[in-house]
Amino acid sequence: MTGSPRRIALLGLAVLIAAAVSISFGASGLGPGDLWRTLAGDADPSTRTILLQLRLPRAVLAALVGGALGLSGCTFQALLRNPLAEPYVLGISGGAAVGAVGVMVTGLGALIPWMLPLGAFLGAVAAMALVLEVARRASPGGVDTRVLILSGVIAGAFFNAVILLLLTLADLESFRSAIFWLMGNLSRADWGSIGWLVALVTPAAVVVLSLARAFNLLSRGEEVAYYLGASVQRVKLTAYLAASLMVGAAVAVVGVIGFVGLILPHAVRLAWGNDHRLLLPASFMAGAAFLLLADTVARLVVAPAELPTGVVTAVFGVPFFVVLLMRGGRR
């Protein structure tokens, strides 16, 4: 535990730097100097507007979503004792997207704003229950890592089809909105949705962080955790719901962005070990910094057009996943 505060502070600094980079670069050609002048209070109004009304909310959104995805990935890994577990790979993000699209096409989303995150949350929970149950039945005598991943990927493919079907049938279909739900981006950043995200992610994150020591026990196996005094079923249920809430909230605002919850917790594990008291907050912050940078890349590579941020995270995430999978196979 010694050294943890310094490591968290280090990651905090990384998030701030990533945020500064994200705000400093964009299609309009404004740069780091303009950020500095805005902070100092002597920038012209249009510069201020672009930085504070467009780029700042987008950066805050990226940090929140990246953090929520990093933390939920780490949570699923601890609960399933599986380093490959991640909301996108497990099909949970896809389930959340189906829930959100379902709310949209029924018109409920337009009537009642909180229906969208609720639909996404319920979609995430349903997808998780489905995938875990399929994996459990397909591998008697303990859930097999690769069976679990396979179930998740199959469920994800199914959810993608459902999303396209719903959008087409409901005639809501514009090509852009389909892309948004299949491969998310942060272009819808505004302070309203950030408020939603903060309100949902904060309590869920606090709950998960309070379970850090129970996660340490659970990652030794459920029976061991029980003997050491963990209330295994209660911890699992609470953590699954909290992680699903984070995934659902993120997907409702930015669509499906994969692999953040895979890459960052793993990098933190490699550097600093598997104590969840450090690993959980570090995964949140590393996820935040990573998504800030990934989103900056997404805005810049084809400027003035934009890539979906999910494309950038997948470009990093898929090779990473393959390496992890091959390592697991050797074990």
Partner 1 sequence: MKGVVLRGRGLAFTHPRAEEAAVRGVSLEIGPGRLLAVVGPNGAGKTTLLRLLSGALVPQAGEVSLDDRPLGELGDRERARAIAVVPQSEASPFPVTVREMVGMGRYARLGPWERAGSRDRAIVDRVLERCGVAWLAGREIGELSGGEGQRVRIARALAQEAPVLLLDEPTAGLDLRYRMELFHLLRELRADGLAVLVITHDLNLAARFADELLLLQEGVTRARGAPGEVLSREILEEVYEWPLRLVPHPGPGSDVGAPQTVPLRRDER
Residues that bind partner 1 (CB under 8 A): 1, 77-78, 81-83, 210-211, 213-214, 216-217, 219-221, 223-224, 226-232, 269, 273-275, 328
Least distance (Å) from partner 1 to the CB of residue 218?
9
The Cα–Cα gap between 100 and 81 comes to: 29
What type of residue is 177? S
Is the Cβ of residue 82 or residue 313 nearer to partner 1 in the bound state?
82
Which residue lies nearer to partner 1 by CB, 16 or 224? 224
Range list of H helices, 139-220? 145-169, 175-182, 191-210, 212-218
Would you say 12 or 328 has its CB closer to partner 1? Answer: 328
SS3 195: helix
| Minimum CB distance to partner 1 smaller for 302 or for 322 | 322
Quick check: 255 and 181 in contact, CB under 8 A? yes
In the complex, minimum distance from the CB of residue 141 to partner 1, in angstroms, rounded to a whole number: 12
Give the residue with the Cβ less far from partner 1, 52 or 322. Answer: 322
Give me the DSSP letters along 28-55.
T---HHHHHHHHHT-S-HHHHIIIIIII
CB of 69 to partner 1, least distance (A): 20
In whole angstroms, the minimum distance from the beta carbon of 1 to partner 1 comes to: 7
54/235 with CB nearer partner 1: 235
Whether 291 contacts 260, CB under 8 Å: yes
Reference 88, options 69, 101, 103, 64; nearest CA is 69
Amino acid at 151: S
Q: How far is CA 311 from the centre of its chain?
A: 14
Q: How far is the CB of 137 from partner 1 (least distance, A)?
A: 14
- Rounded Cα gap, residues 244 and 120, in angstroms: 9
Cis amide leading into 281 (omega within 30): no
State how far the Cα of 314 lies from the Cα of 260, in Å rounded to an integer.
9
| Shortest Å, Cβ 75 to partner 1 | 13
Distance CA 42, CA 20 (A): 18
User: What is the smallest separation between the CB atom of 11 and partner 1, expressed in angstroms?
Assistant: 19
Toward partner 1, which CB reaches closer, 164 or 232?
A: 232
**C-beta of 294: minimal distance to partner 1 in Å?**
26
- Calpha distance 240→87 (Å, rounded): 11
Return phi, psi of residue 319, to 5°: -60, -40
Nearest to 229 by CA among 242, 216, 247: 216
* Nearest to partner 1 of 232, 267 (CB atom): 232
